[in-house]
């Protein structure tokens, strides 16, 4: 059965945004998006989230730039019209998450982009692509809360750089909707309360007994698909990411040479990297070479 969107819910969402502008009651995008998600009529999974992402970003931009109420209302009306054109279930049915499209809608509305624009046309499409990759990195099934958070998390640094904004987002955000979502990824979601990255010790980076070697595009041999045995091998680390730097899931963080092959470690989640050993130090299978935490300690 198709989900029927009600205009009164869109109206409530817009009024929440205008109220935030008038009262200046929020200072971060995660605060506002949670307020919008709590709006009456917005359930766990529904197409209203396609509007919630651009509404959040537009309101935060309006707060920062001291825009007037009528200016924000005009932005929100345009974003609403465009968000309504993104159908429910577009993530699974068309491979195009509505939350990520919402980020593109924001940039398009904010910069007055059109199909004939040049640089901001590029930015809108590029931003949507970045958000889609971020959402996809954690896999399915769908979760409108997770995809909204991930899209904002990915979009904010991009729009801050391109548009000269300074919108803030809490990277240690804990989702409060997990208990109401039957498809929640639980420990595999970065916003879940029991995800190891959110613990005081962080998520440990543990060396396995075997790893596939880093692929060399210039070579096409079967050895690239044969696991490298780390047990008993002499492995010396070379960090690719600095201690304390922010890393994203699947991003290469360090490597080592084993039996003339390179093994590469990637981040299992998003967060701040903490080195346990230094460049050139020896490690073996079972070693904890570092941790990833949601907060920078």
Domain containing 274 — which CATH number? 2.40.50.100
Read off the pLDDT band of 228 (50, 70, 90): confident
- Of the three residues 188, 205, 237, the one that is the final residue of a domain is 188
Q: Tell me what pLDDT residue 17 has.
A: 98
Do residues 159 and 134 share a domain?
yes
DSSP secondary structure of 133-195: HHHHTT--S--HHHHHHHHHHHHHHHHHHHHT------TT---S-GGG-TT--GGGSTTSTT-
Identify the residue whose tokens are 């490690």. 283
Do residues 144 and 124 share a domain?
yes
pLDDT digits (tens, 9 = 90+) for 153-165: 999 999 999 999 9
pLDDT digits (tens, 9 = 90+) for 246-259: 999 999 999 998 87
Structure tokens at 277: 């050993």
Q: Do the domain assignments include residue 39?
A: yes
Is it the case that residue 231 has pLDDT exceeding 70? yes
Residues 104-129, mean pLDDT to the nearest whole number: 96
Is it the case that residue 1 has pLDDT exceeding 60? no
Q: Tell me what pLDDT residue 259 has.
A: 78
**Domain span at 204:** 197-293
| Alpha-carbon span 143 to 275, nearest angstrom | 32
- Burial (0-12, 13-18, 19+ Cβ within 10 Å), 85: exposed
Do residues 173 and 278 share a domain?
no
pLDDT digits (tens, 9 = 90+) for 165-194: 999 999 899 999 999 999 999 999 999 999
Do residues 111 and 145 share a domain?
yes
* Number of domains into which the chain is organized: 2
- Of the three residues 138, 170, 188, the one that is the final residue of a domain is 188
Do residues 170 and 27 share a domain?
yes
| Alpha-carbon span 229 to 233, nearest angstrom | 7
In this structure, the strands spanning 271-275 and 228-229 are: unpaired
- Of the three residues 130, 159, 188, the one that is the final residue of a domain is 188
Read off the pLDDT band of 83 (50, 70, 90): very high
Q: Do the domain assignments include residue 1?
A: no
Do residues 162 and 210 share a domain?
no
| Alpha-carbon span 36 to 224, nearest angstrom | 48
Q: Do the domain assignments include residue 174?
A: yes
Do residues 215 and 181 share a domain?
no
Do residues 204 and 168 share a domain?
no
∠ CA 8-9-11, rounded to 5°: 65
Is pTM beyond 0.85 here?
yes
| Alpha-carbon span 222 to 54, nearest angstrom | 47
| Alpha-carbon span 99 to 46, nearest angstrom | 11
Q: Do the domain assignments include residue 90?
A: yes
Q: Sign of the CA dihedral 75, 80, 86, 90?
A: positive
Do residues 182 and 221 share a domain?
no
Do residues 183 and 279 share a domain?
no
Q: Do the domain assignments include residue 22?
A: yes
**Cβ count within 10 A of residue 53:** 32
Identify the residue whose tokens are 């198709």. 2
Do residues 242 and 166 share a domain?
no
Q: Do the domain assignments include residue 2?
A: no
Q: Tell me what pLDDT residue 2 has.
A: 67
Is it the case that residue 114 has pLDDT exceeding 90? yes
Do residues 203 and 184 share a domain?
no
């Amino acid at each position: 059965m198709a989900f029927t969107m009600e205009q009164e819910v869109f109206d409530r969402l817009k009024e929440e945004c205008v109220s935030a502008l008038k009262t200046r009651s929020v200072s971060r995008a995660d605060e506002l998006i949670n307020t919008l998600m709590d709006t009456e009529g917005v359930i766990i999974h529904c197409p209203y989230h396609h509007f919630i992402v651009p509404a959040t970003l537009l309101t935060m931009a309006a707060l920062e730039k001291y825009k007037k109420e009528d200016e924000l209302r005009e932005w929100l009306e345009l974003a609403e019209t465009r968000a309504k054109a993104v159908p429910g279930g577009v993530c699974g049915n068309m491979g195009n998450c509505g939350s990520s499209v919402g980020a593109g809608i924001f940039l398009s509305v904010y910069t007055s982009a059109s199909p004939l624009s040049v640089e901001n046309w590029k930015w809108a499409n590029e931003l949507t692509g970045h958000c889609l990759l971020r959402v996809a990195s954690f896999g399915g099934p769908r979760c409108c809360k997770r995809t909204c958070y991930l899209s904002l998390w990915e979009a904010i640094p991009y729009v801050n750089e391109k548009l000269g904004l300074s919108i803030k987002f809490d990277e240690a955000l804990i989702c409060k909707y997990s208990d109401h979502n039957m498809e929640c990824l639980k420990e595999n979601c970065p916003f879940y309360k029991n995800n190891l990255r959110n613990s005081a010790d962080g998520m440990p980076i543990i060396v396995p007994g075997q790893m596939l070697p880093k692929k060399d595009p210039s070579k096409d041999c079967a050895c690239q698909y044969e696991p490298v045995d780390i047990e008993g091998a002499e492995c010396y680390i070379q960090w690719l990411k600095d201690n304390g730097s922010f890393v994203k899931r699947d991003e290469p963080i360090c490597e080592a040479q084993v039996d003339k092959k390179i093994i590469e470690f990637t981040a299992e989640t998003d967060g701040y990297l903490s080195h346990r050993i230094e460049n050139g130090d020896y490690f073996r299978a079972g070693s904890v070479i570092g941790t990833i935490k949601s907060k920078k300690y």
